[in-house]
Amino acid sequence: MAAATLTAKGQIVIPAEIRARHGLTPGTQVEFVDEGGTIRLVVHRRITPSDPAAGYGLVKVKRSGKPRRLSDFDAATLVKRERGGAT
């Protein structure tokens, strides 16, 4: 059975083999349930790591040949244009 040591701050590290077996990734929320003489760790919500490449091309911008500044960008206008609405 895997064991961990409690730090002065009250933190523990879940052993790598347990994290891998149960799919515990950074950001996973867990709950501690006190059952008398036993403390049970319950996975409350799993967070799947995001893939930055999955969002590539989400926002389409027309190139006008001149450099754009952040102040030129209006995301609401782009959504209206893409849906066929008036700007």
The backbone torsions φ and ψ at residue 45, rounded to the nearest 5 degrees and listed phi first, read -155, 130
User: In the prediction, which pLDDT does 85 show?
Assistant: 56
How many angstroms separate the CA atoms of 29 and 46, rounded?
6
Annotated domain spans of the chain: 56-83
Q: Residue-wise pLDDT tens for the chain (87 aa)?
A: 788 899 999 999 999 999 999 888 888 889 999 999 999 999 887 777 677 777 777 777 666 777 777 777 777 766 655 566 554
Q: Tell me whether strands 38-45 and 29-35 are parallel, antiparallel or unpaired.
A: antiparallel
User: In the prediction, which pLDDT does 32 show?
Assistant: 92
Give 78's DSSP letter.
H
**pTM for the whole structure:** 0.48
